[in-house]
Amino acid sequence: MRRPRRQHVVAEINITPFTDVILVLLVIFMITTPLISEHTIAVNLPKAKSGTRAQASRPVASATVTVTSKGVLYLDGQLVSRDELREQIKTMFAANPDLSVRIRGDKKAVFKDIVAVLDILTELGIPKLNIAATAVAEE
């Protein structure tokens, strides 16, 4: 008669499902982080009937300049001065000449603050400028 073989206990942990979950979470965070950071600065955008709706996906080389009602400047959610804005945009434009800049100005912002930002961007030669506004439904 044969002796029954002893079965060995498998003491391995299968981490494949864990890896799948982590990768899915990583993709979700990569997609939602730019959307969350864009709206952390409270800006009441002006309304406009004309213009074109922004593309669903942002270009690879893009920057958002936010001007609050008090004239405070933010570049991609980070507080900056006018000189810092100039230097950072200059660096970004040197790295990628196809840079697109969107200006989000509060509707109560002083016009001179918006003009100062436009002046900086024009001096640097940024060809792609967009001004954000809230769309108004036509009646």
Q: Give the separation between CA 110 and CA 128, rounded to whole angstroms.
A: 23
pLDDT tens for residues 18-43? 999 999 999 998 888 766 655 566 66
Burial class, 79, CB count within 10 angstroms (exposed 0-12 / middle 13-18 / buried 19+):
exposed
- Residues 6 or more apart from 120 whose CB is under 8 A from it? 82, 85, 86, 89
- Model pLDDT, residue 55: 58
pTM of the full structure: 0.61
Domains belonging to the chain, first-starting first, are 47-135 (3.30.420.270)
Quick check: 64 and 54 in contact, CB under 8 A? no
Q: Give the separation between CA 102 and CA 80, rounded to whole angstroms.
A: 16
Where is 78: in which H helix or E strand?
Answer: strand 78-80
pLDDT tens for residues 80-130? 999 999 999 999 999 998 899 999 888 888 889 989 999 999 999 998 888
Q: Tokens representing 42?
A: 């409270």
Q: Give the separation between CA 68 and CA 85, rounded to whole angstroms.
A: 15
Q: Give the separation between CA 128 and CA 80, rounded to whole angstroms.
A: 21
CA angle 86/66/85 to nearest 5° reads 10
Compute, in degrees rounded to 10, the torsion defined by CA atoms 110, 87, 32, 109.
Answer: 0
